[in-house]
């Protein structure tokens, strides 16, 4: 072999080595996650980069915490200030590194033999089989990277929805606490009046004792309610990623947003869920990855053990150059077992994709029914029950002014009215939670945002509604 041919071959191997080198994107794949997340979210919040501080500065955060948190503000803080989101996105950077690694050649092997002062042999071997398999490996790792991107976007959407649910629960508990506090205040006034009337002989001892019992029960209820409010608030704190003075000082609205005039109508909820759910898309991506893996396993026994490289030899003062090729023969292991395993894994992925589509359609129907039912319940409470309860309270007050009932009767009416109002708050909370779950069902995001168009979306910056 002449020197020119040898130099050309060496240059070819050098080019292969250089072109095989790939790197991880500077943002660790964040832009791709942002694109997927942006397609599913009505508002695109700034996602954090793993190697940089959180997007929201301390001054921005303090400014947002000055006013009662709206649901949109809570979602923004949870994404741009909570390090939990950074941990979820970091998995994409790991997948990007695996994808880059699949585009690099294995390190060459160097062999050197010396027999005497004038006889030696040296060889440099390159994994040519790995080069031949490299495009297929990169495609397979590319599918895994795509799945990691979907999973990261799904995790972000799930985190946002968990924040929305925590906000709904925190506001609902604050509203419930206000109801009980108002009831306790009224009961204390009524109890003081009952004591005075009993002292004057205008009320009997039994009514006075019953008034004391009702007041005691309401005070216990208030203690338990404040505990529930604290638990809901701390759940929101964890979703926001707050601590210290920021966790203690922020506030939420006193009331939930009012019930929309009509629920959203979804004529094709099953098709929308199957087309849009990220878990279905992930299952499809996984299926394609398994198909590539099956092809790789079929070729691997024949291509993965081919090594080629230049050889230098010297004997009795003469030097020779040449090539060495090393090929392991697939005699004992032709890859049949691995191929069979890959085929089974592929069929498993196919079944999982079909299962994901079936589950998406079923969950969409169930979530839609729960959404519509919760609206019906809350609407009935608002349009029928609350007006009747208000009319009863007005009649009770007229009867008391006419000296037809006692203060104790008014106190019992207060308990009944408070219970009805509390039930309405629960119904309103259940509706907004069902609204969030429906959005989650249509994205497969755990809990996420969707670009809904309709009157049943939660109003922005709406701290409450009159009933």
Q: Report the C-alpha gap between 203 and 205 in whole angstroms.
A: 7
DSSP 240-308: HT--THHHHH----SSPPPPPSSPPP-TTHHHHHHHH-HHHHHHHHHHHHHHHHHHHHHHHHHHTTEEE
pLDDT at 177: 97
In a domain, 26, yes or no: yes
In a domain, 460, yes or no: no
Q: Report the C-alpha gap between 430 and 169 in whole angstroms.
A: 9
Q: Which CATH number goes with the domain that contains 434?
A: 1.20.1600.10
In a domain, 467, yes or no: no
- What tens-digit pLDDT sequence spans the chain (467 residues)? 455 544 545 545 554 554 445 666 666 667 777 777 776 766 778 888 877 888 888 899 999 999 999 999 999 999 999 999 888 888 888 888 877 777 776 777 777 666 655 666 667 666 666 666 677 677 777 778 887 888 888 888 889 999 999 999 999 999 999 999 999 998 888 888 878 877 777 667 787 788 888 889 999 999 999 999 999 999 999 999 999 899 999 999 999 999 999 888 877 888 888 888 888 877 877 777 677 666 655 544 444 444 545 545 555 556 666 655 555 545 544 555 666 777 787 788 788 888 888 888 888 889 999 999 999 999 999 999 999 999 998 898 888 888 787 777 888 888 899 999 999 999 999 999 999 999 888 876 644 333 323 333 343 444 444 43
Structural domain of residue 13, as residue ranges?
3-443
In a domain, 9, yes or no: yes
User: Cβ(138)–Cβ(103) under 8 Å?
Assistant: yes
DSSP 1-50: --HHHHHHHHHHHHHHHHHH-----TTTTHHHHHHHHHHH-SS-PPPPPT
pLDDT at 332: 45
In a domain, 129, yes or no: yes
Q: Report the C-alpha gap between 161 and 439 in whole angstroms.
A: 9
For the chain, what is the domain count? 1
Q: Report the C-alpha gap between 253 and 69 in whole angstroms.
A: 7
Enclosing H/E stretch for 311 = strand 306-315
In a domain, 292, yes or no: yes
In a domain, 149, yes or no: yes
pLDDT at 446: 45
In a domain, 454, yes or no: no
User: Cβ(218)–Cβ(180) under 8 Å?
Assistant: yes
Residue 334 structure tokens: 């032709």
């Amino acid at each position: 072999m002449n020197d020119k041919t040898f130099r050309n071959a060496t240059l070819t191997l050098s080019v292969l080595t250089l072109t095989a080198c790939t790197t991880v994107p500077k943002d660790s794949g964040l832009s791709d996650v942002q694109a997927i997340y942006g397609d599913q979210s009505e508002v695109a919040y700034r996602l954090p980069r793993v190697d940089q501080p959180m997007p929201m500065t301390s001054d921005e955060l303090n400014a947002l915490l000055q006013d009662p948190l709206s649901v949109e503000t809570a979602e923004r803080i949870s994404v741009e200030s909570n390090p939990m989101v950074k941990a979820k996105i970091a998995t994409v950077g790991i997948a990007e590194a695996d994808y880059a690694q699949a585009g690099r050649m294995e390190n060459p092997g160097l062999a050197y033999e010396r027999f005497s002062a004038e006889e030696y042999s040296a060889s440099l071997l390159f994994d040519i089989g790995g080069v031949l398999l490299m495009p297929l490996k990169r495609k397979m790792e590319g599918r895994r990277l795509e799945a990691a991107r979907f999973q990261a976007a799904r995790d972000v959407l799930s985190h946002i929805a968990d924040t929305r649910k925590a906000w709904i629960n925190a506001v609902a508990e604050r509203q419930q606490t206000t109801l009980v506090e108002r009831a306790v205040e009224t009961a204390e006034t009524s109890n003081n009046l009952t004591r005075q009337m009993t002292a004057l002989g205008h009320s009997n001892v039994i009514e006075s004792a019953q008034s004391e019992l009702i007041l005691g029960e309401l005070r216990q209820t208030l203690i338990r309610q404040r505990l529930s409010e604290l638990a809901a608030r701390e759940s929101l704190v964890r979703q926001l990623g707050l601590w210290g003075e920021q966790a203690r000082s922020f506030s939420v609205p006193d009331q939930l947003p009012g019930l929309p005039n009509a629920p959203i109508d979804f004529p094709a909820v099953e098709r929308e869920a199957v087309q849009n759910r990220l878990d279905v898309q992930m299952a499809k991506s996984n299926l394609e990855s398994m198909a590539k893996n099956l092809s790789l396993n079929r070729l691997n026994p024949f291509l993965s053990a081919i090594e080629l490289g230049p050889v230098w030899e010297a004997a009795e003062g003469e030097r020779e150059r040449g090539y060495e090729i090393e090929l392991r023969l697939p005699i004992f292991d032709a890859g049949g077992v691995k191929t069979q395993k890959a085929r089974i894994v592929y069929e498993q992925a196919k079944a999982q994709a079909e299962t994901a589509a079936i589950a998406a359609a079923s969950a969409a129907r169930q979530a839609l029914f729960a959404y519509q039912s919760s609206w019906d319940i809350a609407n009935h409470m608002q349009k029928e029950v609350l007006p009747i309860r208000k009319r009863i309270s007005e009649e009770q007050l007229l009867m008391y002014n006419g000296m037809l009932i006692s203060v104790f009767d008014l106190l019992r009416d207060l308990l009944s009215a408070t219970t009805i109002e509390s039930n309405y708050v629960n119904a309103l909370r259940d509706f907004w939670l069902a609204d969030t779950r429906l959005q989650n069902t249509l994205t497969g995001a755990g809990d996420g945002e969707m670009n809904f168009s309709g009157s049943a979306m939660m109003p922005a910056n709406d701290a409450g509604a009159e009933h």
